[in-house]
Structure 1
């Protein structure tokens, strides 16, 4: 089972993030949007970290994060937004929902590797 769920509608971003994390010992599951992400998270209790884009079809990343916290009642999974959005109001909304962190693209794995390992109990 996976310890990280990468949610992004861009197959390129999913490959970049999951490839980097896989090379560093993470077990990665992939989802194409927020709905798919919720389904994956519900099916896999081993997921400790969700790395999600915001702007996606069907369900955006912030709506997914809100559902993770409120509908699933999952307050233990860490949620990181990996997005092009750097709007302070969006960040505030994310914090209010319970988003753990915010990374503005591009993804720089070396900058977050230790934190991700800590979130997944690998450090």
Structure 2
């Protein structure tokens, strides 16, 4: 069975790059344009992993993660931040909120797929 990944980013070009990288590695990818859409998608579907940006309109990635982690069914879903932020303090906030990992943009597609394989075990 193929893993299903939700990607949340306000940039259509970044979502496209993520989709190309992950679908090319055999994953099914669903896209959302901001944290509100991401939260709704996660609540209406079942995803094996979530890749999210930090800075987005309507709801940022940190808030989205906090909201997801309040729900027992989302507790074990790995969440990877993919963002331009590289501040250690922000990384600590993300970890405290429930993020599983952190990748800095611009990203190397092979690195993203390697992280997905490691986190998902497939």
Instruction: Tell me the residue number matched to 1:66.
Output: 66
Aligned length, in residue pairs: 120
CA deviation profile, 1:7-52 (whole Å, cap 9, x unmatched): 000000000011111111000000000010011111112x111111
TM-score when normalising by structure 1? 0.91
Tell me, yes or no, if the aligned pair for 1:17 and 1:107 is still in contact at 8 Å. Answer: no
CA RMSD of aligned residues (A): 1.5
Could you list the runs of 5+ residues in structure 2 that have no partner in the other structure?
Answer: none
CA–CA distance in 1 between the matches of 2:103 and 2:114? 14
Instruction: Tell me the residue number matched to 2:41.
Output: 40
Instruction: Tell me the residue number matched to 1:112.
Output: 112
CA–CA distance in 2 between the matches of 1:104 and 1:63? 19
Could you say what secondary structure the match of 1:82 adopts? strand
CA–CA distance in 2 between the matches of 1:120 and 1:44? 17
CA–CA distance in 2 between the matches of 1:104 and 1:114? 14
TM-score when normalising by structure 2? 0.91
Residue 55 of structure 1 deviates from its aligned partner by: 0.5
Tell me, yes or no, if the aligned pair for 1:3 and 1:120 is still in contact at 8 Å. Answer: no
